[in-house]
Amino acid sequence: MRYKIIGEMLERFDEVLTPEALDFLVALDDRFAAQRVALLDTRRARRARFATGQFPDFRPETAHIRADPSWRVAEPVPALTDRRVEITGPPERRMTVNALNSGARVWMADFEDATAPTWANVIGGQLNLIDAHERRIDFTDERGKRYAVGEDAATIVVRPRGWHLVEKWIAVDGRPIAASFVDFGLYLFHNARRTPYFYLPKLEDHREARLWNDVFVFAQQYLGLPQGTIRATVLIETITAAFEMEEILYELREHSAGLNAGRWDYIFSIIKNFGQWSDFVLPDRAEVTMTVPFMRAYTELLVSTCHRRGAHAIGGMAAFIPSRSPDVNAAAAEKVLADKRREAGDGFDGSWVAHPGLVRTCRDAFDPVLGERPNQLDRLRDDVEVNATDLLAVDKTPGQVTAEGLRANVGVALRYVDAWLGGTGAVALSNLMEDAATAEIARCQVWQWLHHRTPLAGGGCVTRDLVRSLLAEELAALLTGRDPQERARAVAAADIVERTALAEDLPAFFTTEAYALHLAPSGTSSPSGSPA
């Protein structure tokens, strides 16, 4: 046996971790582990080049792919033809039922931004997905509320963790296995003949898309599925992928289900890659809206690229979520409606919502634009002209850096990491949805402003002492009323924020640091340094 399960075999985990499913994971690892590692090296080298002032551009060596008008992606499968509303969330049991019943066409079951990758969440999530497909997920909770999947449930699409993460609770030949193989492999193995559909997060270039395509071809052969059965929507959520949208669609064309504008990771990626340059200092997070020039350029290019190739363009996540206060609620619905209307008007075929209470809002934005059509693939955006300068026009973002914005970022980073260490990967903070991507923005903005000693609107500038004192204040507030275990977790969260926001060199992901130090089996972990 080449695999070893280090994690505890909790109740029913044997239904997910069958010998056959684990053999499949070993086969994926054998075939593709080295390529994954090489691609992560490429990420590191690219970031090092950006640090010397060589900025990205469209690649000359793939110009022929962009210039060739003849290729298109595969026709959409019936379940992914009308995607006007997609709900996202972690595959936690209660939320699984709620998402399936939400009225959205698609549920993106998320192992990436919305899930803290504890062993229990990772394998428990797979179990919930199997149960959901088999319609044996119904239950009554401790409050007596009945959960049962109804008619017309959403189509399940799974987002595995990105290439940068490892799963240390499963070893192959003594080494941790790539988290992408675990999430993709276990879901596909158990649900290949149901909805073998995926969202692919945090890709940085078309070679990473090619690796996914190779994984799909191999997996289909291994499991006896016709080639082209698997479908995948790629999130364009890194600045480097924005320069390779066509190439990414091309690599995956037999399996492509389009592209999604992952706005939050996109902003994170801009700061991560160019944060050291003063032209790239962004204002308070609330000011970095979808209508600022560099975000507008990116979404316009995404829609026009997709529709030229017959691929769906799916919009992103407005962070406003419903609240118990009617006023806050009305304001959130209005903001989300405006966001979705803009997307529908720009040509997107559908969009994401973070909460069942927003499904109707999204539908209200798309229905009038789509009319009888299931999508608007027929709407070519030949009017769009976006060049490299437009994609990198971060200095045209209006707004200021304020003391409130700095405090908000410190608070969000701390509270989110605290929740994440406790096993929760998406939380509502100050009426906004926060997940790994938004928390990364918070953390990286602190680093960026500190790096540039950015002036604050009301006077003064961002200094290490100021950030440390804000962190201490936010931590003191978080510690109030907590039991010893929760206090220890909050302190650990503050340590992660300190390590990843105040380090000299910006660590690539807080999740890799926090996973190695706190979620992985003890004794196997060392702080990761700076994985790509």
Ligand X SMILES: CC(=O)SCCNC(=O)CCNC(=O)[C@H](O)C(C)(C)COP(=O)(O)OP(=O)(O)OC[C@H]1O[C@@H](n2cnc3c(N)ncnc32)[C@H](O)[C@@H]1OP(=O)(O)O
Residues that bind ligand X (CB under 6 A): 87-89, 94-95, 98-99, 110, 113-114, 264, 317, 321-322, 354-356, 426-428, 433, 435, 437
Q: Which of 16, 414, 417, 437 binds ligand O=CC(=O)O (CB under 6 A)?
A: 437
Looking at beta carbons only, is 186 or 437 nearer to ligand X?
437
CA-CA distance, 497 to 9, in Å (whole number)?
32
Looking at beta carbons only, is 159 or 190 nearer to Mg ion?
159
Looking at beta carbons only, is 205 or 434 nearer to ligand O=CC(=O)O?
434
Q: Which of 82, 86, 110, 113 binds Mg ion (CB under 5 A)?
A: 113
CA-CA distance, 62 to 82, in Å (whole number)?
31
Q: What is the CB neighbour count within 10 angstroms for residue 398?
A: 9
The strand pair at 313-317 and 256-261 is best described as parallel
Q: How far is the CB of 95 from ligand X (least distance, A)?
A: 4
Q: Identify the bridge partners of residue 175 per DSSP, sorted by sequence position.
A: 172
167 close to 176: Cβ distance less than 8 angstroms: yes
Q: What is the CA radius of gyration of the chain?
A: 22
Q: How far is the CB of 203 from Mg ion (least distance, A)?
A: 11
Under 8 Å CB-to-CB from 387, ≥6 apart: which residues?
A: none
Q: Does residue 265 interact with ligand O=CC(=O)O by CB under 6 A?
A: yes
Under 8 Å CB-to-CB from 357, ≥6 apart: which residues?
A: 321, 322
Looking at beta carbons only, is 119 or 298 nearer to ligand O=CC(=O)O?
298
Looking at beta carbons only, is 182 or 437 nearer to Mg ion?
437
Which residues in 28-67 contact ligand O=CC(=O)O (CB under 6 A)? Answer: none
435 annotated active-site: yes
CA-CA distance, 514 to 116, in Å (whole number)?
10
Which residues in 245-264 contact ligand O=CC(=O)O (CB under 6 A)? Answer: 262-264
74 close to 255: Cβ distance less than 8 angstroms: yes
Please tell me whether residue 314 adopts helix, strand or coil conformation. strand
Q: Does residue 475 interact with Mg ion by CB under 5 A?
A: no
159 annotated active-site: yes
Under 8 Å CB-to-CB from 400, ≥6 apart: which residues?
A: 283, 284, 287, 457
Q: Identify the bridge partners of residue 427 per DSSP, sorted by sequence position.
A: 434
For the record, the structure tokens of 57 come out as 């551009």
Q: Does residue 113 interact with ligand O=CC(=O)O by CB under 6 A?
A: yes
Q: Does residue 316 interact with ligand O=CC(=O)O by CB under 6 A?
A: yes
* Catalytic hit among 36, 43, 83, 159: 159
- Binding residues (CB under 6 A) for ligand O=CC(=O)O: these are 113, 235, 237, 262-265, 316-317, 437
- Binding residues (CB under 5 A) for Mg ion: these are 113, 237, 262, 265, 437
Q: Which positions are catalytic?
A: 159, 435
